[in-house]
Structure 1
Amino acid sequence: MIPMFHADFRDLVNDERIHRVLFLFLIGTYVYTEVKSWWHILLRPLYVKIISMLSDYRSGKYYKPWGPTTPIVIVSTKKQIAELSEAPCLSQRAVYADMFGFKHTMNKLEHNTSNNKVIRTRLYSRLLQVNGPVHLDALYPHLLNQFDINLERELRGGRVVNGGISLPIAQTARRLVSKLMSLMFFGEALSLDEEFSSALLRYPQDMVKCMAAFQVAPSFMSPVIHAVLTNRGEAMHLIQKRLFQCIGSGLSNQNEADKIQLHTILYNIIALTSSSEYWNADLLSQSLLGIWFAASHQPWMNLHFVILELCERKEWQRKLRQELEQHVPLDYKRLEQLPLLDGFIKETVRCNPLDTLAIRRKALEPYTFSDGSLSVPSGATVCVSAYDLMHNPQTYPDPTAFNPSRYLLKEPNSQQRKFTEVSETYPIWGYGSLACPGRFHASLAMKMVISQLLLKYDLSLENENSSTRWSWETFAMPYQNTRVILKEHGLQTM
């Protein structure tokens, strides 16, 4: 028995599996001891921070957890705002390039420079602001047809609830606006190309995802983050490749019917830059990417909040429907002459700004305002508080009240009542020469969706208690699962 016992014991001692188990046990004991010793020093504070962030996220609040990397300077007087908007070394392009990572999300776009600023501003202004309304007037019937087709598609994908069709507000608004803006920008042929259309829809979402990720990750990780979140910039590269081909081929190869083609942004940007030594196909395609992001992203988010306000304020659905019915058949000019519609959209945006800060600029070098009141260090962000300006009781009596009628008190010819106004008291479009030149396109897309929905449907939330928004730093973000019920109001003659 004893020799057999010794043999078994010897086999047990020499068993490699036992060795591995003992080795892992010793390593585990060591790791546990080290972790325990570091728990109160390092890991527990980190754990508490993560739990706090998750709690804030669930409560509808989120922010950059590690604090700002550059100072933010706020200006407030009209003179300061005008100077902020026009100072050459205070760059609009650079501040948003840092925020959204244009080096990655816009294919190595150079942004820390004020070179050729005047050339770019003049082109965008002439293309979108000066000629834009004329082209939008001509495009309206085609846009209306596009809207009807795409709304029908959305309704087929909805679900029947309480005698109506339930749709997710955020996704529906994004898709409807993207389709309308796509036709304004690129015409019918490209808009109907499903691969290109899908890329147009994904690209702004990629930009926002990268913005959020870039804020919380070290800068050296940005290329990896961008590659992972955007599938190596798939949508960006597809859009730019198609645009490069169209721009490079010039106007002679535009195959679309003249009635649409001649009024698109793509056609006109080619026409306006055909003799320019500065603009080339690569630079134009990059610029169109930037304009597309601004034009397609903000309108659907504002539209989301307009729909929420309409659901909450049934009396305003009736008022706006009455105004619309008095002006059918609708076209671009009639939509621009509806004071209640303008007032409701304008008041919604005033009470629900997408960003509580506006007219952001990055100081490319140290700058002191001409009145000597503020000195801005290089790299700092200078801006205005959009929330404070739009809640100033001297400009907006009873500023916390939702009152679209406040804009009807203006003089009949005053532009202050228009949603597309540019004003230091309503800075959502920016200010001065760099005010958003595409605001007429954005406004039309929103007005078309709102007017067509109101003429055909009563709107209500599927769940009156559902969460509707959350925030990231100064930005308001829609919840993706909030749903609206569209219940047929009655057949209307358009």
Structure 2
Amino acid sequence: MAEILYLPWLSYAMEQPAQPQSLFLVFYILLLGSMLWAIRKPKRIRAWAYLFNGPSIVHCEYQKSRGQPFEIYAPDVRMVFVSSREHIKELDNAPDAVLSLNGAAKHMLQPVYTMNGFNWFDRRGVEGVGFVRTLRTLLTNNIPQLLPDLGVLTRTCWAELLSKQETIDGTTLAPVYPMMMNLVVLLNGRSLFGEELIKSESFTASALGYVEETLLNAEIVKLFPKPFAPFVGGLLGYFLNSHKTFFESLIPMTEQRVKERDDRNLGRTAPERADCIQWIMETAPKQNPWSAERVIYELMAIWFGSVHILTTTIVYVIHDLCLHPEYIEPLRYELDTSYQEFERTGQGLPLLDSFIKESARLTPVESMSVRRCALQPFSLSDGTKVGVGEWACAPSGAINTSAEYYHSPEEFSGFRFVDPTILSRAQGASVPAARQSKSSRLTDVEHSFLVWGTGRMACPGRYYASAFMKLVIA
């Protein structure tokens, strides 16, 4: 996460109204002062360099490490990177009370200041992880029911967004990222919240703002000394308050669902629902049912995790389609012959699946994965130590371009993961020189492709994310 520059923050600040603009300039000056104070020590100089050039630093250290653990300092945390199968498995096997995914997420997102004041990650350990079953089982099982409606929404919304763009000499000039962000917000809103809320422009605006402001707020708060965090986070949360609007927009519908749940428990008739609000309520603790507010906090966490990564990954795929137009004909042929089956089952489209995976391999949203925050001192089998509050993680971006795992690793080969027998039947496609010896799917979790994490903590929503991306790109 700490891989963005200061200049985009300043640019963002200048687009805000006068009062928030002044606030951001104050923060900007304070951060520069913090940098000047911190760089008196060589180790701190390297830590601040990570903020500006994190992916390259990780890749360089990975190359030098030869499979052994290595450390990198960011301005806010020391990180121990591991890349061997054995060490990654050690991270996965460590008890949650020792190495915590939630602890790393809490540090990354600063939920006290970005999730309407609720420390979601602390409460999850106490109240269970019903959201995992919501995403892994209930949402996944309902993908075939969601796809037809999402397909109609995609075509309608994309045509509307294009119609608003400037056209010069018959060519439409389309800013892909903001358009795709709007589209993903609309479609994800339909999947998670149903049809009613997405009709409200104020809701969709706050849902979009919540994602963007969470990233910005959390990055700024993390870079200040801990004693300043409540002051800085509080001010940012006051002026950048889409999270409050988003929360309040969800209250009426969620309170209605709570009432329907109580009616069912009393034997009364209540409507049947099929969306994430309902599924979270069904998987919440039975002995102490969650309130409407508690359900909303869970939704806010799921919402953030789904919108940002989906949008960015799809945009990179669109860029790669433009850079490699030779793939368009075989992909369109696959869609012409197989899309209806995909929409009916949520499965299939192996050529498009491979193209998305190859794009994500070479342009991952983040350069690290398998993040764990040490809640207790932890040692790897080789003696490498991770102190309390420090991170253990894997250099997924560097692994993605390692010759140890990929033939011609720097080359874009859109069909490298497809079974050759499938390619031989695909119109306009040929078996590429740069391909894997074993075919695989986008949703597969493996040591050489850590986009989804690993082991028992692998992303439970990856099947939905895969189907979602295929639908939009198709």
Tell me which interval the TM-score lies in, with the shorter structure as reference length.
0.7 to 0.9
1:387 partnered with 2:397: yes
Counterpart pick for 1:127 among 130, 134, 139: 134
Contact 1:392 1:399 in 2 (8 A): yes
Contact 2:373 2:389 in 1 (8 A): yes
Equivalent residue, structure 2, for 1:246: 253
Shift of 1:61: 9.6
Tell me which amino acid in the other structure corresponds to 2:449. Y
Go from structure 1 to structure 2 and tell me whether the alpha carbon gap of 1:261 and 1:331 turns closer, same or farther (over 3 Å shift): farther
1:284 partnered with 2:306: no
Contact 1:226 1:233 in 2 (8 A): no
Go from structure 1 to structure 2 and tell me whether the alpha carbon gap of 1:316 and 1:225 turns closer, same or farther (over 3 Å shift): farther
Stretch deviating more after TM superposition (85-94 or 219-228): 219-228
Tell me which amino acid in the other structure corresponds to 1:134. N
Counterpart pick for 2:218 among 211, 228, 235: 211
For 1:350 and 1:324, the matched residues in 2 are separated by 23
Q: 1:405 is paired with a residue of what secondary structure? A: coil
Equivalent residue, structure 2, for 1:167: 174
Shift of 1:230: 5.1
Equivalent residue, structure 1, for 2:31: none
CA deviations over 1:130-176 (Å, ceiling 9, x no partner):
22222121111211222122112201211113423221011011111
In structure 1, the gaps of 5 or more residues are: 1-41, 47-52, 255-259, 452-494
Shift of 1:440: 2.3
Q: After superposition, where does 1:407-426 map in structure 2 within 5 Å?
A: 407-409=417-419, 417-426=440-449
For 2:420 and 2:289, the matched residues in 1 are separated by 43
Contact 2:258 2:291 in 1 (8 A): no
Contact 2:143 2:346 in 1 (8 A): no
CA deviations over 1:416-443 (Å, ceiling 9, x no partner):
6221222222111111222111222222
For 1:300 and 1:168, the matched residues in 2 are separated by 13
Counterpart pick for 1:107 among 116, 130, 147: 116
Q: Which has the larger radius of gyration?
A: 1
Tell me which amino acid in the other structure corresponds to 2:101. Q
Go from structure 1 to structure 2 and tell me whether the alpha carbon gap of 1:358 and 1:194 turns closer, same or farther (over 3 Å shift): same
For 1:187 and 1:74, the matched residues in 2 are separated by 40
Shift of 1:352: 0.5
1:359 partnered with 2:357: no
Shift of 1:116: 5.5
Equivalent residue, structure 2, for 1:270: 281
Q: 2:415 is paired with a residue of what secondary structure? A: helix
Go from structure 1 to structure 2 and tell me whether the alpha carbon gap of 1:138 and 1:111 turns closer, same or farther (over 3 Å shift): closer
Q: After superposition, where does 1:416-455 map in structure 2 within 5 Å?
A: 417-451=440-474
Equivalent residue, structure 2, for 1:377: 387
Tell me which amino acid in the other structure corresponds to 1:444. A
Tell me which amino acid in the other structure corresponds to 2:303. W
Using the aligned pairs only, state the percent identity.
25
Shift of 1:274: 6.9
Stretch deviating more after TM superposition (327-336 or 165-174): 327-336
Tell me which amino acid in the other structure corresponds to 1:120. G
For 1:119 and 1:435, the matched residues in 2 are separated by 20
Contact 2:277 2:295 in 1 (8 A): no
Tell me which amino acid in the other structure corresponds to 1:350. R
1:96 partnered with 2:105: yes
Contact 1:91 1:361 in 2 (8 A): yes
1:402 partnered with 2:412: yes
Go from structure 1 to structure 2 and tell me whether the alpha carbon gap of 1:153 and 1:415 turns closer, same or farther (over 3 Å shift): farther
Shift of 1:394: 2.9
For 1:284 and 1:415, the matched residues in 2 are separated by 42
Q: 1:128 is paired with a residue of what secondary structure? A: helix
Equivalent residue, structure 2, for 1:459: none
Equivalent residue, structure 1, for 2:334: 323
In structure 2, the gaps of 5 or more residues are: 1-35, 41-47, 59-72, 262-270, 423-436
Tell me which amino acid in the other structure corresponds to 1:386. S
Contact 1:187 1:261 in 2 (8 A): no
CA deviations over 1:20-59 (Å, ceiling 9, x no partner):
xxxxxxxxxxxxxxxxxxxxxx99x99xxxxxx99x979x
For 1:410 and 1:120, the matched residues in 2 are separated by 43
Stretch deviating more after TM superposition (301-310 or 414-423): 414-423
Tell me which amino acid in the other structure corresponds to 1:361. R
Equivalent residue, structure 2, for 1:474: none
What's the TM-score, normalizing by structure 2?
0.74
Q: 1:201 is paired with a residue of what secondary structure? A: helix
Counterpart pick for 1:180 among 187, 190, 208: 187
1:82 partnered with 2:89: yes
The answer to which structure, 1 or 2, has the higher relative contact order (CA under 8 A, 6+ apart) is 1
CA deviations over 1:189-216 (Å, ceiling 9, x no partner):
0111211111111100001111332244
For 2:187 and 2:74, the matched residues in 1 are separated by 38
For 2:369 and 2:333, the matched residues in 1 are separated by 34
Contact 1:227 1:233 in 2 (8 A): no
Contact 1:206 1:229 in 2 (8 A): no
For 2:231 and 2:318, the matched residues in 1 are separated by 37
Tell me which amino acid in the other structure corresponds to 2:115. M
Aligned residues: 392
Go from structure 1 to structure 2 and tell me whether the alpha carbon gap of 1:61 and 1:357 turns closer, same or farther (over 3 Å shift): closer
